[in-house]
Amino acid sequence: MDENKVIICRCEDVTLKEIRDAIREGFTTVEEIKRVTRSGMGPCQGKTCGLLIAKEISQMTGKPMEEIELQSIRPPYGGITFEEVTKGTVMENDK
């Protein structure tokens, strides 16, 4: 199996090769790699790929894992419809 074809971020289909290329280009934080490859921006918000990317950064740069900061994880909010916006629907918690 070609190691570079391994999918690191399943949500955004980012491969190990793309992660390694980004690190070689000088992006050496999880946040930077997230921004240039979109890894960690899918529904799981990097819960799966974040640690894998941090491990790859550690291996390629020689930086200890303890010093690598993980990406910001945002809570999964759902969208609202235009109908809810135009009607001014009040949520139960907003009363």
Query: Domain residue spans in the chain?
Result: 7-87
DSSP string covering 11-47: TTTEEHHHHHHHHHTT--SHHHHHHHH-TT-STTTTT
Report pLDDT digits (tens) over 41-95: 888 888 889 999 999 999 999 999 999 998 777 666 677 788 887 887 555 665 5
Token pair belonging to 61: 């740069």
Assessment of whether the complete model's pTM goes beyond 0.85: no
Looking at residue 75, what is its pLDDT? 67
CATH code of domain 7-87: 1.10.10.1100
